[in-house]
Amino acid sequence: MRVFKFGGASVKDAAGIKNVASIIQQYGEKNLVVVVSATGKTTNALEVVIKDYFDNKDAKAAFDVVKQNHHQICVDLFGTDAHAVFDKLQNIYAEVDWQLEEDRKESYNYVYDQIVSQGELISSVILSAYLNEVGASNSWLDVRDVMKTDDTYREAVVDWTKTQSLMDSIVKPMATDSIVVTQGFIGCTPENCTTTLGREGSDYTAAIFANMLDAENQTIWKDVPGVMNGDPRVFEDAVFIDEISFNEAVEMTFYGATVIHPKTIKPLQNKNIPLLVKSFINPEGKGTKVGGNDNNLPPIRIVKNNQALITLHTKDFSFVEDEVVAEIFTAFSAANLKLNMMQQGAISFEAVVDNIPEKITKVKAALENKFNFVIEEHLTILTIRHYTNLDYIEKFKAGKKTILEQRRPSTYQGLLQ
């Protein structure tokens, strides 16, 4: 059994979908689960629909743009607008239109998931129909029939026991007969409401499938040759890395390397399933093996933008002792806001977090009785793993103000402005 994941960039248009289909066809007719993301920037476009809906603007007009994009992709793929795929898409669209007509505005996060999830349903229906068209018979799986989660909308937590049992009873028999095409990113509550696993979550979906199906390996097909020692869009001199360990991958993604979703590694490491990061542009390329060795790794650079530094000062000059630290951590954890860097002083505590205003507001509300709360925005964390010498770091800091720095033998982190 193998699991493939194709991200938005790989299926952004008809040419992309044809390329994906040809990759799938090279790998056989069964024992292959294909997890697909929404096409191109569809998830962002659906976020606009949701925003317009809540702002009482013309959300249907914003959704028409999404429909139009997919209509064009299908006409380009099937050469007609009379194919059966158009009816299937109409059914999905009708559900969204119906939601947008509803006046009853439930919680933002709930509505967000009901609408944003449609991107993956649409793309998987199109990919499955195109594969059938070119003779790669496959079964389309509604992932919500197996991926069971709690109701933390937008950051749903997977119920491993229920999901495993459904994987055994539904997916395993399906995959022994044919290729399975399904959606990344989305799941379902026990009440049958759609959830999502967090933005960019399709890599994670694929890893859950790989774990539960005891796959031989998982491949995520990207627009880069594999894992490099920095995002090539940021670092022109970035070089390809042959293989890295699970440990290195988990560290890199934790610090913000966006090439792999951070939650992807654990399900694979737990069953020692290698992750291959390969290029859909050059499928013959070797790709990076995650789950291998770290041989002479070059310095790996990670840039995390849009950071906020929160400085907490105790109002009454009481020390930041264990209980106070516990209170601070509880507030961040309750808001689901991860601490990317932190530093403690006698009567102060500094936390660097992703600048997500609604979460920061929650933290502030929980702590402002006891602390003065100061926020500095528009900051960047530069992380360098395996830095060879300090000059190397200086080169990146040149021309920037350093606000906070932390150095361990393996890892440098600087908060820069």
Nearer to ligand ADP, 8 or 291 (CB): 8
Asked if residue 2 lies in contact with residue 217, where contact means CB atoms within 8 angstroms, the answer is yes
Q: Are 390 and 397 in contact (CB under 8 A)?
A: no
The CA dihedral of 316, 317, 319, 320, to the nearest 10 degrees, is 70
CB 184, min distance to ligand ASP, A: 5
From the list Mg ion, ligand ADP, ligand ASP, none, partner contacted by residue 287 (C-beta under 5 to 8 A by kind): none
Give yes or no for residue 199 binding ligand ASP (CB under 6 A): yes
Q: Residue with CB nearest ligand ADP? A: 7
Name which of 41 and 162 has its Cβ closer to Mg ion: 41
* Closer residue to Mg ion (CB): 258 or 411: 258
Could you tell me whether strands 138-140 and 32-36 are parallel, antiparallel, or unpaired per DSSP bridges? unpaired
Instruction: Show Cβ contacts of residue 344 under 8 Å, excluding neighbours closer than 6 positions.
Output: 320, 325, 350
SS3 content of the chain, % helix, strand, coil (to 5): 40, 25, 35
Contacts 24+ apart (CB under 8 A), 78-83: 78/129, 78/130, 78/133, 83/129
Check residue 105 and report its DSSP letter.
-
Task: State the binding partner of 219 from ligand ASP, Mg ion, ligand ADP, none, CB within 5 to 8 A by kind.
Answer: none
- Partner from ligand ASP, ligand ADP, Mg ion, none binding residue 223, C-beta < 5-8 Å depending on class: ligand ADP
Task: Scan for tokens 């930041």, then name that residue.
Answer: 320
Query: Which residues are at the interface with ligand ADP (CB under 6 A)?
Result: 7-9, 37, 200, 222-224, 227-228, 230-233, 257-259
Q: Which two tokens stand for residue 159?
A: 């119920």
Of 202, 245, 253, 307, the residue at the interface with ligand ASP (CB under 6 A) is 202
263 binds, among ligand ASP, Mg ion, ligand ADP, none (CB under 5 to 8 A by kind): none
CB closer to Mg ion out of 200 and 243: 200
Among Mg ion, ligand ADP, ligand ASP, none, the one that 379 touches (CB under a kind-dependent 5 to 8 A) is none
Q: Minimum Å distance from CB 200 to Mg ion?
A: 5
Hey, what's the torsion of the CAs at 7, 8, 11, 16, to 10 degrees? -90
- The DSSP bridge partners found for residue 34 are 4, 181
Smallest distance, ligand ADP to C-beta of residue 127, A: 14
- Judged by beta carbon, residue 239 or residue 375, the one nearer ligand ADP is 239
Distance in angstroms (rounded) separating the CA atoms of residues 162 and 362: 32
Distance CA 28, CA 355 (A): 45
Q: Which does 16 bind (CB under 5 to 8 A by kind): ligand ADP, Mg ion, ligand ASP, none?
A: none
Site for ligand ASP in 3-22 (CB under 6 A): 7-8
Looking only at residues 93 through 152 of this chain, which bind ligand ASP when binding is defined by CB under 6 A? 119
Among 113, 120, 159, 200, binds Mg ion (CB under 5 A): 200
Q: Which residues bind ligand ASP (CB under 6 A)?
A: 7-8, 37-38, 43, 119, 184-185, 199-202
